[in-house]
Amino acid sequence: MIIGKVERVEAISLLPEMSFDDFLKTAESILKRNDGKTIALVDLFGGTPSNVLTALTKKYNLEVITGASLCIFIDLYMKVSGEQEINIEELVDETIKIANEGTVHTNKKLD
């Protein structure tokens, strides 16, 4: 694949039959297993995953970034997959910068 085997990553899907509380319980079950800082990537700001996870930042050691894309995931994963010490606040800022730079109107690049 693009970056090889991915470890220490969990995915949660919000399925049509899931309620807010169902999603909350699923997210909490993952967060309870993690003893360190967690970064959550979600698709839309203001959607149920964003709202649930943002609410959980008060209870868990969690940072939430919206506007997730494969580009953001790969960049973030490559930075955290090593053994080096990581400054989470800087990492979140860098991830948002990468997200902004990764959105390109390719037609304009042709001009």
CATH at residue 40? 3.40.50.510
7 occurs within a structural domain? no
Task: Enter the pTM of the model.
Answer: 0.82
pLDDT at residue number 17: 96
Angle, alpha carbons 57-60-65 (nearest 5°):
40
93 occurs within a structural domain? yes
13 occurs within a structural domain? no
71 occurs within a structural domain? yes
pLDDT per residue as tens digits for the range 31-86? 999 888 899 999 999 999 999 999 999 999 999 999 988 888 888 888 888 777 78
How far is Cα 53 from Cα 42, in angstroms, rounded to an integer?
9
